[in-house]
Amino acid sequence: MMKKSAFVFLLTLFLLPLSAQSFMEGEIIYLEGDVNVSRNGEWLPYYEVDMGLSVEENDIIKTGPDGYLEIELTYPGQGGLLKVQADTVFYFEGRETGGVRTAKVNLLNGSLGLKVAKLASNEKMNVETQTAVMGIRGTEFIVDRSPTGEVLVSCNEGRVSCAASRTETYSIPGMVCLQNENQSFKEEAVPVEELEEYRSDWWDLRIEALVKLGPLSVDYYLGRYENQLPQFNQAWSELARQEELFTKYEALIRSGETPDRSKATRDKISLTSPIIKMRSALPLMEEIYYTLYTLEQYQSRGFFEGNEQAMRDFDRNEKLLENQIIKAHYYLDLYGQISSYAAGGTNSTLNSMLNN
C-alpha cells in the first residue's frame, strides 16, 4: 500500500501543470569569441548568436576557449547580470509553485559571475551543479566548476548559501567556499581584494592536477558514461517515439491555435511516463557528457595524453548524444506547453520562440 501511495504521489507531481509563462529569461548584451546557443532542439547558426539575442529557459549556452558573454536578466524583478567565462556550459530553468518563482542556473562546467539585487519574498534563485546548490540572497558572486567537478564559490558582496551532502555553509566577503572530492563544502578566509588572484591560483592548481590525472579523470567519467547510457537511451527511445505528437503541438503553437482541453489532457497523460524517465536520466547524462566534452577539449590542446582509443569511441557518439540532449530539453519545453493547454492556458513565450 505504501508503494502504491508513493507512486500515486509521484505521478500526481509530474502531472501538475508547469508555469504557463516563462520568467527566467535574459538578453545577450555583450559577447566575444566562440559562443553557441541551442534553441528549439538544435544549435542556432553562428550569425544569429549576437548582441540582442534572447536567452530562454532550457536554451543550452556553450562558450569555447576564447568565448565570453554577458546576459542581462529579466528575473528577478530587480533584474540581474550574468557574466559567462570561457569553456562554460549552462542553461536556465524556472518553476512556479504556490506563488513562489524559483529560477535555476544549471552550471555543467566552467565559470559564471552573477550580480542580482535583493530578492522579493516570492522570488528564489539558485546556481546549481550536479552535487551542489548555491542559493542567492541578493549579492555579487562567482561560481567556478573545474573540469573534474570541484567547485569554488567566492562572493564580493552579500552572501551565498552553499549546500551539498546535507550540509550548508555561506560564502560572504572575506570567506570562500570550496567543495572537495567528498562533495561537502569547507570555508576558507580570503580577503576580497585577493579574490581574483586566489581564483587564478585555484584554476592553476586544477589544471596542474588535470595534466597529471587527466587520463584517470577520463577513465572515471567514461565509466560513468557507460553505466548511465542505457538508462538515457531507454528514456530517449520512449520520448522519441512520441515525435509525431510533439510535431503536432509545434504546428499548433506556430499557428496560434488552442487545442481542445480534454484532448491536451489525454496527450499529456500519454507523455507522462517517458517525460518522467527523461527528467530522471537527463541531468546526470548531460553532466557526464559535458564533463567529458570539456576533458576532450583540454586533451586536444595538449594538456595531457592517453585514452586516445577510449576518446575516439566517445567521439563517434558525441554529436548524436549532444543532439539528443538539446532535443530532450526542447521536448520538456513542449511538454510544459501541453501541460498548460491541459490546464486551460497558453504559453506565449514558447509561441514567440517557435516563430522567431
For 147-179, how does the pLDDT look when each residue is reduced to its tens digit (9 = 90+)?
888 899 999 989 999 998 778 999 999 999 999
Question: Which pLDDT does position 10 carry in this prediction?
Answer: 42
Rounded (10°) angle between helices 261-300 and 195-240: 130
Question: Is residue 275 included in any domain, yes or no?
Answer: yes
pLDDT band (50, 70, 90) for residue 181: low
Cβ(221)–Cβ(295) below 8 Å? yes
Question: Is residue 287 included in any domain, yes or no?
Answer: yes
* Alpha-carbon gap, residue 199 to 333, rounded angstroms: 36
Question: Is residue 333 included in any domain, yes or no?
Answer: yes
Q: Which of 66-70, 273-277, 287-291 has the lowest mean pLDDT?
A: 287-291
Question: Is residue 169 included in any domain, yes or no?
Answer: no
Mean pLDDT computed over 74-95: 90
Q: What is the mean pLDDT of the chain?
A: 86
The residue range of the domain holding 330 is 213-354
Provide the CB-side half-sphere exposure for 219 (13 A, CA).
7
pTM of the predicted structure, to 2 decimals: 0.85
Q: 170: which residues sit within 8 A by CB, 6+ positions away?
A: 159, 160, 161, 162, 177
Question: Is residue 347 included in any domain, yes or no?
Answer: yes
Per-residue CA distances from 286 to 21, 250, 323, 326 (Å): 25, 25, 11, 9
Mean pLDDT computed over 314-328: 90
Question: Which pLDDT does position 30 carry in this prediction?
Answer: 97
Question: Is residue 238 included in any domain, yes or no?
Answer: yes
The count of domains in the chain is 1
Mean pLDDT computed over 129-151: 89
Question: Is residue 276 included in any domain, yes or no?
Answer: yes
